[in-house]
Amino acid sequence: MTDDPRPTIRSVLNERAGIPVDVDTLDDDADLFAAGMTSHASVNLMLALEDAFNLEFPDRMLTRGVFSSVSAIAAAITELSATDAVLPPDGGSR
Amino acid sequence: MTSSGGGAIGGPALKVGIDLVSVAAVEDSLRIHAERYLRRVYTSRELCDCVTSSGAPDARRLAARFAAKEATLKLLRDGDQAVPWREIGVRSDRYGRPSVELAGSAAALARRRGIDSIEVSLTHEGPFAAAVVIASVPEAR
């Protein structure tokens, strides 16, 4: 994983989050739900982020806040990348 | 349960949650994420209840159940507590009448708020599915 996850997060957001604006025009702290991301789209976002970063979001992170902004997602991924949440190269049990 | 608009002072009050989901969005999730999407979001009972006559996942029914989960979250949460989607489930009885089942952190939130049961109504028409949930909660004094 690169040191800064935000470019990948923005790419995933543009592809999978269903936000009706270019995410690259939003600040890191902009509220993605206010920008048009639905609750259901946040599920797709979570699954796509898991694919992109080869990790799995644990139940304790399934809050609205974790997926509410680029910076919040980056903080969660940085935390998970420092733990055993990262899956082995074959994708583990996911 | 008291009528809508709140009960007597010190008595129970009503809480309502509502949500609307695009059926196409669920179809996209099924196409892109398939089993992972189903396993992370829906209970095993929901997966049994939401199949087409050919045995494939029924996006319309799944969309209605996702709407019920989100509507229930709106009713239960008083902050940003972590609640996995599969801890809120919809069960249909032999007549197709739905009811909400809670587990884990969702059940704990309901207990904390004094919610004993949640009534739910589901609908789907054309491109959308929706759910409304309602529960009686002890009114804060």
CATH number of the domain residue A49 falls in: 1.10.1200.10
**Does residue A89 lie in a domain region?**
no
Q: How many CB atoms lie within 10 A of CB A87?
A: 15
| pLDDT for res A84 | 58
Q: Number of folded domains in chain B?
A: 1
Residue B92 lies in a domain: yes
- Low pLDDT (below 50) residues in chain B: 1-7, 141
Helices (H), B11-56: 23-41, 44-49
Tell me whether residue B67 is in a domain.
Answer: yes
Domain enclosing residue B17, as ranges: 12-138
| pLDDT, tens only, A68-86 | 999 999 999 999 998 856 6
Q: Is B121 on the interface with A (CB under 8 A)?
A: no
A interface with B, Cβ–Cβ below 8 Å:
16, 18, 38-41, 43-44, 46-48, 59-65, 94
pLDDT at B84: 96
Count of structural domains, chain A: 1
Residue B5 inside a domain? The answer is: no
Any A CB within 8 A of B88 CB: no
Does residue A1 fall inside a structural domain?
no
Dump pLDDT digits (tens) for B46-82: 999 999 999 999 999 999 999 999 999 999 988 899 9
- In this complex, the residue of A47, A60, A64 whose CB is nearest that of residue B33 is A47
Of the candidates A44, A22, A66, A3, the residue with the CA atom closest to the CA atom of residue B41: A44
- Tokens read off for B79: 């902050």
Q: Complex ipTM, two decimals? A: 0.85
Average pLDDT, chain B: 90
Non-local CB neighbours of B82 within 8 Å, separated by 6+ positions: A59, A60, A61, A62, A63, B105
Q: Confirm whether A67 is domain-assigned.
A: yes
Structural domain that includes position A51: 6-81
Model confidence, pTM = 0.88
B4 within a domain of the structure (yes/no): no
State the pLDDT at residue B138. 85
Residues of A in contact with B19 (CB under 8 A): 39
Q: Tell me, what CATH number does B99's domain have?
A: 3.90.470.20
